Amino acid sequence: MWTDRLSHFELPPQWSTMREAARIEQETGRQIIHMEKGDYVSPEFMPPAESFAAIARSLRQGYVRYSPGPGLWELREALAEEMSLRGRPTIPEEIIVTPGAKFGIMATLLLFLDDGDEVIMPDPGYPPDEFWARYLRARIKHIAFRDPRRIDTEQLAKMITPRTKLLVLNSPQRPNGQLIENIEEIAEVMLRFPHVTIASDEIFSKMVYKPFVHRSLSYLPELRERTVVIDTFSKSYVMTGLRIGWVTAPLKLAEKYNILLQNSCTNVSTIIQEAALAALQAPASYHENWLALLTRKRDLAYKLLAECKRLQTDIPQGSFYLFSKLPEGVDDREAVRRLLHRGVAVVPGSAFGPAGAGHIRLTFTLEDDILAEGIRRLTAELASLQG
């Protein structure tokens, strides 16, 4: 029989609505509006044209053999430049190209946690963080928020013990799209505990709406060597299915990621690495247009949701999600089940951890008319829900 470590193995809870929606569509032929995906839904969102050209060129050149290693040198150079421009001075050797950020998260937890070690992570958070921590038999401690944009640093300082190995953060946060704003306060606490490494999941760092700006503990010189940054092309370049991301880590640690990568998936597809390099070299207008489109959709979705007095929604500072509080006493899983039967799919907040209960999460990356219809169905159903 398989190992006891699999006792918590289940399909990703945040995708339960997606699975259920697919089942209903298949069995009944009904069309559901998909606001549950952590993905782009509308075909208006596409990777840069330069990436498609690079894929075609790589195929013609026959890049179909192994290329073991931490990534193509040119890609690592371009990513080092990208990280340096953001505020974390980086050399190419500190970049490890991974098959997506999720691999980067798994690798980080595998590299740091032994049985009984402690990892601090937000609640609500990103379920795979917890999944791998549990696999490794680490002790998970949930950090509370003073408000949606500020970690309770007093509690953080009290939580850290000699067994604490990692603090996992993501900003802009998932699932609520808010930035973590009290970076300096968190840094102050972390400087008091030099044995703790920070895993900073920054997959939405480019998807931040004006006037807000992304900030990271890795930009602070005194914490740079203690912070691992996890990022991806999935969201910033509309490449969710191409599976490519990267980890930025201090040199000695980067070598461990490299060894882990070469002993597991060998290398990220060379063709996809070429596509990623081309994306980084795309003209600035690509991101300007992408962010303008996202901003417009965020504003439309927020305006429509804000009209629904039964929901409480903060406008997201980043990401492509809205996270709304249901009326007091309404169970989020029950609400999601009813919404599915109305023909609109969203995710119950409790899929992201106990503190997410009583909320729903939805993406606004749909075509405008479908987005508006999805929110119309949602508000109509909520009007009939008893709190």
Ligand X SMILES: Cc1ncc(COP(=O)(O)O)c(C=O)c1O
Residue 316 interacting with ligand X (CB under 6 A) = no
Provide, rounded to whole angstroms, the least separation between the CB of residue 174 and ligand X. 4
Among all residues, whose Cβ is closest to ligand X? 100
Cα–Cα distance between 245 and 240 in angstroms, integer?
Answer: 10
Provide, rounded to whole angstroms, the least separation between the CB of residue 123 and ligand X. 14
For ligand X, the closer of residues 108 and 232 by Cβ is 232
Among 48, 245, 353, 374, binds ligand X (CB under 6 A): 245
Cα–Cα distance between 359 and 336 in angstroms, integer?
Answer: 10
Cα–Cα distance between 228 and 204 in angstroms, integer?
Answer: 16
Whether residue 51 contacts residue 279, with contact meaning beta carbons closer than 8 Å, is answered with: yes
54-93 footprint of ligand X as x/- string (CB under 6 A):
----------------------------------------
274-313 footprint of ligand X as x/- string (CB under 6 A):
----------------------------------------
Provide, rounded to whole angstroms, the least separation between the CB of residue 219 and ligand X. 19
Cα–Cα distance between 361 and 101 in angstroms, integer?
Answer: 21
Query: Phi and psi dihedrals of 232, rounded to 5?
Result: -155, 155
Beta-sheet pairing, 197-201 with 227-232: parallel
Applying the rule CB under 6 A, the residues between 96 and 125 that interact with ligand X are 100-102
Provide, rounded to whole angstroms, the least separation between the CB of residue 234 and ligand X. 3
Q: Which of 375, 317, 319, 59 is nearest to 203 (CA)?
A: 319
H helices present in the chain, as ranges: 16-28, 49-60, 73-86, 101-112, 127-135, 153-159, 183-191, 221-224, 233-236, 251-262, 270-280, 284-306, 332-342, 368-384
Provide, rounded to whole angstroms, the least separation between the CB of residue 109 and ligand X. 13
17-56 footprint of ligand X as x/- string (CB under 6 A):
---------------------x------------------
Bridge partners (DSSP) listed for residue 143: 122
Applying the rule CB under 6 A, the residues between 175 and 214 that interact with ligand X are 201, 203
**Chain positions contacting ligand X, by CB under 6 A:** 38, 100-102, 126, 170, 174, 201, 203, 232, 234, 240, 245
